[in-house]
Structure 1
């Protein structure tokens, strides 16, 4: 009886051990690599990456469908990056991530949810991004590369948002699609008394009736200064659109006073087929201070 009890305990331990191995959770990580450290015995970086992954504890190749949808193939990684940075994406356990991080050729490892929020190459879901203006966290890759990642995923505009540590500094970037940059404070939820509202974005649906080609947006501003002050607006309209503001001037007589204004955006011309979005801005000024609200206009369902 005692022997049977010992065998039962041993069998239970073995089953629990196997259960731990097979239920260990994996998730997708992006691994940045120094390709200049590739040993000469490897013909290319893909072979080097595969060998490195297979050396990890309990690493298993993935079975992926071919791009044509016919047949399957074994792969050691989800994607290989060769343009903006060097590296690969793979499904890894936490233990495997720790092993990789100790290798001299690994520059950094980024969890895929962060990769999507930072618009890293290959991290965006095309079904979710297509035809949209995408907000990307700054960091993890060059700012212009984020715009390229959005463009390749079918996005029509990009907003680069400073995150903690980046502060209020902004830089001009040569994006391939309309792009804006906002500061760390500009990306946070705004207080009711904050005059700096988020960017105004409108969509002209080319498949709808003409009444949709004239869109009105209302904003409310709160005076945060002491004493009276008058602000006048300077409009920089997006190309192909007419923008008017009513009233064009707001006069405040005391701190905390609220004023509302209406921004009317009217389509004037249909852009070329390869053009989906244009940007502009509203600048309110009292002669000393300026408050800018970015404007983004998107044309949807353009004729082909």
Structure 2
């Protein structure tokens, strides 16, 4: 058996992982000086900062003007669960999974919601499933970027613009590093602590007009906890998408997210962020290529994640 010793060379910045990620270059706690601490998120200053976070998100991610963007509790998980419990059940659903997070959503839909008409389209670690098997007359749930497998969809071309079902996309490790085709997506979710290195506990829920129409015209057969409710009296609760959050957000985390968004804007927005992610991935690719013992999990370079 070969015994490996700890490497003598350590990274200058050891703060990285697939969960909480490194802060922006040059970050310090001074960036949080103007946080609205000790103030209600419903006060003018708190609501203003939440509205800024929504509008900067729209600008940086290039979200269409008619899509709603909301800040919701419980990170990306909370955002995905809100979508699944509020929107599914009107028609059959195709669950597309190729790593642990996607498989988790399959479990929720099959074992918790217990929907009867569910098709599972799955692949093991390292590959995408056959996307041509997806029926877009049904609702479709998938991850854009498989966080734990390093396999992503290369683009949104497999999704038709004209479709009867909704596309629900967990984009938590793709948003800000990969181009999301919003015209092909009806629900997009992500969390602050992934690509931009924000702090945890907060999720983002982006809804297309088609998703809003479903929310206002369809009532699930199961009861919805208050934390999942997006409508009242059959109408969308618009305040959620104007900074009136369902629960009490951390204004310290909000300030940190604003700082990350302003930095992203200052370096050139989405194109610059994607270029940074690609450049970082290229460093890893080069290291793997030179190594005799490392390899990529993703078998096809076209579907290999840059995060």
Q: TM-score, normalised by structure 1?
A: 0.24
Q: TM-score, normalised by structure 2?
A: 0.24
Q: Which has the higher strand share?
A: 1
Q: Which has the higher helix share?
A: 2
Instruction: Please say which structure displays the higher CA radius of gyration.
Output: 1
